[in-house]
Amino acid sequence: MRLCHLVVGCGTYELATEVAELVRQAPDPSRAVIGLKNHGLTITGRSIREIFDRIDGMIVPHVPMT
């Protein structure tokens, strides 16, 4: 997974462009995982099922706030 520390606003064209470039640079762009600080993950795959299968057990669905 690549981690990205961009200084651009959420939902901006600049953010989309930077993420697209990071996906293009991935060893296999069809299976990229890009972590965006304060934004979450961008994960590519051939289908949503394939993406969920790849991350199964790796994502914490609920983070306790205590």
Is 60 part of a structural domain of the chain?
Answer: no
Q: How confident is the model at residue 29 (pLDDT cuts 50, 70, 90)?
A: very high
Give the Cα separation of 64 and 61 in Å (integer): 10
Its domain, for residue 26, covers 2-55
Structure tokens at 22: 């990071």
Are 5 and 37 in contact, with CB atoms under 8 Å apart?
A: yes
pLDDT tens for 13-28 read: 888 888 899 999 999 9
Give the Cα separation of 9 and 15 in Å (integer): 7
Is 61 part of a structural domain of the chain?
Answer: no
Q: Which helix (H) or strand (E) holds 3?
A: strand 2-4
pLDDT at 5 over 60: no
Are 18 and 26 in contact, with CB atoms under 8 Å apart?
A: no
pTM: 0.67
- Total tally of structural domains belonging to the chain: 1
